[in-house]
């Protein structure tokens, strides 16, 4: 089931991206190994719980239609005993998914995202950025365009330890950060050092300086968190909280989903067995249709809670766990009904 779905995903993605690969002269080896190999790892693991759910329904419904489950009940086996192999399989797959999410996929995603950046990602813009950095520094700028790699209308305010008195004000028409360093180059800058009784004013065409932050902290794409392992993402979230970033909830959802999604395999496995373990007049198609309906409702619930966390401040850990709790309750009711 995983192979079929991933094959279809690769075919659809390739049909959409092929022209861009050709126009950007992407090497065949990079397309296969840097992109699509990691593409399959990422999306296969992301949707593993849903694929497990469909697989369970298909397999169990087939047994039911072939009247293979009735002899099991007649032999005196309980529904829990019938469910045990499914739960063992779900446990193995859940552990694999957890391992993938926290340790394997971050490195895999680095290669995938690097390929996307080099060969088909469109340039992006950041506008009206504002953040409070450690050391009572307030940083903001009007715009940044990735193809130019230059920040426009760059401003830094340095406040005292109490945050009540302005110590210095620096403004530059443009600012450029040397990649992977803290070195900056400012053009058409104005610096005011606030002091009593006299302020110090400095103006110039160009200034080479060093700051305790880098441009990629302010101008990264939202999905950059996918390439961070657990410790890196935790530190990144803490730093974003200190800056007052508006995207903290997005990064927290990425962190919590790495654990909640694998656990969904348990819930969906129980639901899948309960829904498809009885022979239906409409055959396997009815069980699959019911299963697809449950999947759509599950995805819808995930989207609703995720949007609530991002837009209205709903706690991020609840946003990713509430659908599992709700469907866990549904699984319990279906399990009790199936025992009868």
pLDDT per residue, tens digit, the chain (340 aa), is 888 889 999 999 999 888 888 888 889 999 999 999 999 999 988 888 888 888 898 888 888 888 888 888 888 888 888 889 999 999 999 999 999 998 899 999 889 888 887 887 766 778 788 888 777 888 888 888 877 788 899 999 888 877 778 888 899 999 998 888 888 899 999 988 887 777 888 888 998 888 888 887 777 777 778 888 888 888 888 887 877 777 788 888 888 988 888 888 888 898 888 888 887 776 777 777 887 788 888 888 888 888 888 888 788 888 889 988 988 898 888 888 876 6
187 vs 205: CA distance, rounded Å: 5
pLDDT at 281: 73
Alpha helices in the chain (DSSP H): 2-23, 28-29, 37-46, 48-65, 70-74, 79-99, 105-119, 215-218, 230-243, 248-276, 284-312, 316-339
Q: Which tokens belong to 13?
A: 């993605």
Distance (Å) of CA 311 to CA 12, 246, 248: 31, 10, 11
First to last CA, the chain: 30
- Check residue 340 and give its pLDDT: 61
Q: pTM to 2 decimals?
A: 0.75
H/E segment holding residue 200: strand 200-210
**Structure-block tokens of residue 304:** 């609703």
Could you tell me if 286 and 302 are in contact, meaning their C-beta atoms sit under 8 angstroms apart? no
Before 197, cis peptide (omega within 30)?
A: yes
**Among positive and negative, which fits the CA dihedral 260, 261, 267, 270?**
negative
Any idea of the CA torsion for 97, 102, 108, 110, to the nearest 10 degrees? 150
Query: Helical H runs in 66-191?
Result: 70-74, 79-99, 105-119
Query: Measured between alpha carbons, how far is 54 from 168 in angstroms, rounded to an integer?
Result: 61
Determine contact, residues 41/104, Cβ cutoff 8 Å.
Answer: yes
Q: Phi and psi dihedrals of 117, rounded to 5?
A: -65, -35
CA–CA–CA angle 50, 56, 59 (5° rounding): 140
Which residue in 284, 236, 265 sits closest to 331, CA to CA? 265
Q: Identify the pLDDT of residue 290.
A: 80
């Amino acid at each position: 089931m995983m192979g079929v779905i991933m094959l279809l995903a690769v075919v659809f993605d390739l049909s959409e991206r092929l022209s861009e690969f050709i126009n950007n002269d992407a090497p065949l080896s990079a397309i296969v190994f840097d992109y699509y190999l990691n593409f399959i790892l990422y999306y296969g693991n992301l949707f593993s719980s849903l694929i497990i759910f469909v697989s369970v329904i298909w397999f169990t419904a087939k047994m039911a239609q072939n009247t293979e489950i009735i002899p099991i009940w007649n032999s005196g086996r309980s529904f829990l005993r019938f469910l045990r192999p499914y739960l063992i399989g779900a446990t193995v797959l859940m552990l694999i998914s957890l391992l993938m999410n926290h340790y394997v996929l971050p490195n895999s995603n680095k290669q995938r995202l690097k390929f996307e950046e080099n060969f088909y990602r469109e340039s992006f813009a950041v506008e009206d950025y504002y953040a409070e950095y450690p050391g009572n520094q307030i940083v903001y700028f009007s715009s940044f365009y990735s193809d130019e790699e230059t920040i426009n209308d760059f401003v830094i305010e340095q406040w005292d330890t109490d945050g009540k008195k302005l110590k210095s004000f620096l403004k530059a028409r443009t600012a450029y950060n040397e990649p992977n360093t803290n070195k900056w180059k400012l053009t058409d800058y104005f610096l005011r050092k606030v002091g009593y009784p006299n302020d110090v004013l400095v103006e110039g065409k160009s200034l080479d300086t060093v700051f305790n932050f880098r441009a990629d902290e302010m101008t990264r794409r939202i999905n950059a968190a996918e390439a961070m392992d657990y410790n890196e993402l935790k530190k990144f979230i803490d730093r974003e909280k200190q800056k007052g970033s508006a995207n903290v909830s997005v990064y927290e959802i990425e962190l919590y989903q790495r654990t909640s999604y694998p656990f969904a395999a348990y819930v969906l496995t129980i639901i899948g067995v309960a829904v498809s373990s009885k022979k239906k007049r409409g055959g396997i198609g009815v069980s699959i249709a019911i299963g697809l309906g449950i999947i759509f409702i599950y995805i819808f619930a995930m989207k609703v809670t995720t949007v609530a966390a991002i837009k209205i401040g709903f706690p991020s850990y609840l946003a990713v766990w509430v659908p599992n709790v709700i469907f866990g309750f549904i699984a319990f009711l279906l399990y009790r009904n199936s025992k009868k």
